[in-house]
Structure 1
Amino acid sequence: MKPFKLFLAVFMLQLTFAFTATAQKQFKVLLVTTTRGWHHESIHAGVLALQQLGVHNYFDVVLWEDPNGFTDKYLEQFQAVIFLNTTGDIFDANQQKVMERFIESGKGFVGIHSASDTEYDWEWYTKLVGRMFHIHPTVQTAKMKVLDPKFPGLQGFADGKLWTEEWYEFGPEKVSGLNYILGVDESTYNPKADWGARGKGEGMGKLHPLAWYHNYDGGRAFYTALGHLPTNFSEPAFLDHLYAGILWAATGKK
């Protein structure tokens, strides 16, 4: 290679690296994985998958690691907060107010699987999620149902697609206006569960939703019940579903 062509090739390569390092990403999300109850084995796989999802789709994923760092000032840099398989009471009263102000400012929330098994006594949060986890039967394979094909990211979940999951049964709606996009066909698995003092589950009937979205308190919230198994996070269909929800929560774009 001639000296000038070599110089030009090196210059262009350096320019590409510089652009990649300095170019602004689409958006930035904070990933929360705190548990104060059951700890899902899939959390590690989920963190890695979401980080790679950010690389592939050019957005930043920051793992929340400082218990005292959940402040208004810190959250200014983010467009959405993701609760990945969180459980129990994970925020104190001050942090709850920070989260409320974050959504009120027009930002977004994404809840994955046991995010609906989190903060039952925080009424505002239960409305943000939309419905809370009640019970589930044993992990089984069942057929999926697309409830709203207009919402993106569902192309891998055509009606009748087989999926193995911990099928959550939910309590009543905590707020009106939930837009259901994905469900499960209860006729294809046994939805019954008996947890003794916790109660029994008989299923939810013809409409058994698994994922939904809605506008809430000035911001946006997306929830999916999928994500119990570590292997879920290597499934292209699930990753497309997650990214569509994250994109909408962070930007309002479908």
Structure 2
Amino acid sequence: MDIPRSARLFPLLLALLLCAGGALAETSPDRVLVFSKTTGWRHDSIPTAVAALQKLAAQEGMVADHSEDAGDFTPGNLARYRVVVFASTTGDILDDAQKAALERFIRDGGGFVGVHSAADTEYDWPWYGQLVGAYFHSHPPGLQTTRVVPEHAGEPGGTPWTITDELYNYRQNPRERVQVIATVDERGYEGGTMGADHPIAWCHAFDGGRSWYTGLGHDTKVYAMEPFIAQLRRGLHYAAGRSPEC
């Protein structure tokens, strides 16, 4: 029996299409969910923060979606993402089911990035407090200028840089629970309450996933500073599992 040429070619074409589809799936970019819902203080810098994070993600071959809809926190939707960023969130922003979805996301190996008032969020959710590393306690009035001192393995490790921003004090020093990557020098400003060891950025492996946080990012102008953008870039790398170092 003579099989038509078109019938003979069909299996080959189907195999090629399946291979192409598989290749596309393998090269799909990591997705980042930038979440900026607030139920307390709302920072004017949020639009700038979101734009900066989306630009950074694009530069790193990622795709960043922005949302303030807590309904996006479902297991199925979060499974689309590699990293969730809380960009200056405040207050109680997720219900119990949405909290459970974020916990599952992290336990499945997802990454978290917290920016500034992510530490001023969900005070009654102990798991979240452990994820972010420390809760906000207070800050000096207005913007203050100080040095940010990079740190590696518990020792100064990099060139200090100057920043003018709202400088958070935290309820507890997180050093025993996290890897500190930068401190601020309280000698350079008024209103610091943490003393000679004042962490301002850190990371840690947590509950199956990865968490990275910076307390900087209150002022819009900070997002034009290359050292701060470099810090955020490191955070995305670490949270996405692209680098073991944060």
TM-score (norm 1): 0.80
Q: Which amino acid aligns with 1:123?
A: P
2:148 aligned to which of 138, 144, 149: 144
Q: Map 1:66-105 onto structure 2 (within 5 A).
A: 66-105=69-108
Residue 59 of structure 1 is matched in structure 2 by 62
Which residue is 2:165 aligned to? 165
Q: How far apart are the structure 1 equivalents of 2:173 and 2:195?
A: 15
Aligned pair count reads: 218
Partners of 1:145 and 1:183 within 8 A in 2: yes
Structure 2 equivalent of residue 118 of structure 1 = 121
Structure of greater relative contact order (alpha carbons < 8 Å, 6+ residues apart): 1
Residue ranges of structure 1 left out of the alignment (5+ in a row): 1-21, 193-202
When the two chains are superposed, the root-mean-square deviation of aligned CA atoms in Å is: 2.1
How far does residue 239 in structure 1 lie from its aligned partner after superposition?
Answer: 1.0
Cα drift, residue 149 of structure 1: 7.6
Aligned pairs for 1:180-199 within 5 A? 180-191=180-191
- Residue 233 of structure 1 corresponds to which residue in structure 2? 223
Amino acid at match of 2:65: V
Q: Deviations over 1:18-37 (max 9, x none)?
A: xxxx7935411111000000
Alignment partners' CA distance in 1, 2:130 and 2:200: 16
CA change 1:65–1:172 in 2 (3 A) is closer
Q: 2:132 aligns with which of 129, 149, 170?
A: 129
Q: Measure, in 2, the Cα distance between the counterparts of 1:38 and 1:173.
A: 23
TM-superposed deviation, 1:50: 1.0
Structure number with larger C-alpha Rg: 2
CA shift digits 1:133-178 (9 cap, x unpaired): 0000021111221222899xx86xx22x221011100011579531
The share of aligned pairs that are identical, in percent, is: 39
So what's the TM-score if we normalise by structure 2?
A: 0.83
Instruction: Give the match for residue 236 of structure 2.
Output: 246
